[in-house]
Amino acid sequence: MSLPLPQLQQGAEQLGTPIILWSWQETASGSGLYELVPGGGFSASLFANAQVSAAGDTEIVSDGAPRRVLGYTLEASGDAAMAAAGVLIITLGDFAHTIWLPADADTELSGVLWSTGFTSLGSLGQLYDDATPINLNLSAALTRGVINLNLQYQA
């Protein structure tokens, strides 16, 4: 069976837990089609943690192997702030979150200012090929505090 990846993901999610015994492989034609094949596949879950405050892309995982992101948690520390109060856009792969952060001069808070909670990407997750690193992107630099990322993935 060879189908575009979105159709395979939709069909595989209906199969439930047995999907863990199979793996996705691009067809030999290189035409952007994938096929579900027995065996192979990904390892048990791995975890990566990062604290980010710089604007732009921060590389989280780049191990030269295909990876599947299963889920993540993003948090803004209680003291997170930017030079001017405004909206911060946080992007992880195809997923973006927006939060409002105060100016640096505002009162410092402790704890967690904002959290996504655990965000599951389903039984198939988001696939990355071996040449694409997993990056966390901030639209602006933080002058105080950090954005915490806890990432669950398979390699």
pLDDT at 52 over 60: yes
Pairing of strands 67-77, 112-115: antiparallel
With a threshold of 0.75, does the pTM exceed it? no
CB atoms within 10 A of CB 46: 15
What are the tens digits of pLDDT across the range 117-135?
Answer: 999 998 788 888 888 899 9
What CATH code would you report for 42-154? 2.60.120
More confident residue, 45 or 36: 45
Take residue 12 and report the two structure tokens written for it. 């595989």
Domain ranges within the chain, ordered by starting residue: 1-41, 42-154
